[in-house]
Amino acid sequence: MRELIFLEPVFTHNIWGGTRLRDEFGYDVEGNDIGECWGIAAHPNGDSTVEGGSFGGKKLSQLYSEHRELFGGIEGDKFPLLIKIIDAHDNLSIQVHPDDKYAGEHENGSLGKTECWYIMDCPKDAKLVAGHNARSREELDSMIHGGRWDSFIRELPIEKGDFIQIDPGTVHAITTGCLILETQQNSDITYRVYDYDRLTNGKPRELHVEQSIDVITVPAKPEKDSLSHTPERTDSAADVLIENDFYKVFKISVRGSFEFEQRYPFLNVSVVEGSGTLDGHEIKAGTHLIAPDGYGSMKFEGDMTVIASTVSRRK
Ligand code: ZN
């Protein structure tokens, strides 16, 4: 039987970061500007390391290229997904991502970025930026060049447990106090539209206004198609949150014990709340691991919420 692959995350320091990733999850990382925990990552800007077991010490990118059988022999030279926990101690910049076609043509063959968010925690009456209010390309152009941010951005009220899909071309931003599990394509291409005129080391961060205008979808997708409330379970269950061309994402609620059949090419597993065991291994909020191809039945015990993901079978 194949073993679970536990991963040691990589952290980023950001102008908008905080200390929750260390304080609440016990990650061993210094600083008061910890923005992101890249829990399951095989990217040049962050590559998780396997913790223990037969592959201990290997980077995920290396494991993926040398042992493709663990990932169901899927095609593609890059591990397809990237799983992060984001702690927004301050507002993130207003941004947009390109799709595969635009990124391939303008960003050295890079992948585009489709992403989705599970809200692990947020303040009362929190709002996220998802979408915009421009009705035409002309209006988009004039709102952005005129700096009419209040009328441009669309804010959606959110609560803990909400799920938001961000297609390429969607204007978006995570706001102060939100803690989010992000499942995304393995890409780091971001076009920053507006950064609240903040300074880093005395200078504003670079904006990518023209690329943003190129890729923003007009009009934006309706609110109701962007946001959903996920089920809150008192009994154990696995709920599918989304399935599209890039990923299939599950919310697994463990209340006592639960068996989940790992019948996908691989399954990313991140504990977002609570603690317990998985096939006898202790896991808790902040644990990230991969169950490889052919793993079969996974037995969860305890009281916890897990976000799991795999590549869509439609691809
Ligand atoms: Zn994004």
Ligand 1 centroid to Cα of residue 69, in Å, is 30
**Per-residue model confidence (pLDDT) at position 314:** 46
**How big is the CA angle at 147 (ends 34 and 179), to the nearest 5 degrees?**
25
Is residue 192 annotated as part of the catalytic site, yes or no?
yes
pTM comes to: 0.95
Ligand 1 centroid to Cα of residue 14, in Å, is 14
Q: Rg of the chain over CA atoms, in angstroms?
A: 19
Ligand 1 centroid to Cα of residue 32, in Å, is 22
Q: What is the mean pLDDT of residues 201-230?
A: 93
Ligand 1 centroid to Cα of residue 253, in Å, is 26
Return d(Cα 220, Cα 210) in angstroms, integer.
18
**Per-residue model confidence (pLDDT) at position 26:** 96
In sequence order, what are the beta bridge partners of 274? 304
Ligand 1 centroid to Cα of residue 172, in Å, is 7
Ligand 1 centroid to Cα of residue 273, in Å, is 23
Ligand 1 centroid to Cα of residue 250, in Å, is 20
Residue 143 has pLDDT above 90, yes or no: yes
- What does the pLDDT look like over 4-60, one tens digit per residue? 999 999 999 998 999 999 999 999 999 999 999 999 999 999 999 999 999 999 999
- What does the pLDDT look like over 173-200, one tens digit per residue? 999 999 999 999 998 899 999 998 888 8
- CB burial of 236-259 (b: ≥16 within 10 Å; e: otherwise) equals bebeebbeeebbbbbbbbbbeebe
Ligand 1 centroid to Cα of residue 28, in Å, is 25
**135, 148, 192, 313: the active-site residue:** 192
What type of residue is 202? G
Q: What percent of the chain has pLDDT over 90?
A: 91
Return d(Cα 31, Cα 260) in angstroms, integer.
37
Q: pLDDT confidence of 91, banded at 50, 70, 90?
A: very high
Cα separation of the two ends of the chain: 27
**Per-residue model confidence (pLDDT) at position 109:** 87
- What does the pLDDT look like over 230-267, one tens digit per residue? 999 999 999 999 999 999 999 999 999 999 999 999 99
Return d(Cα 92, Cα 128) in angstroms, integer.
10
Return d(Cα 32, Cα 30) in angstroms, integer.
7
Q: pLDDT confidence of 313, banded at 50, 70, 90?
A: low
- How many beta carbons lie within 10 A of that of residue 306, not counting itself? 26
Mean pLDDT of the chain: 95
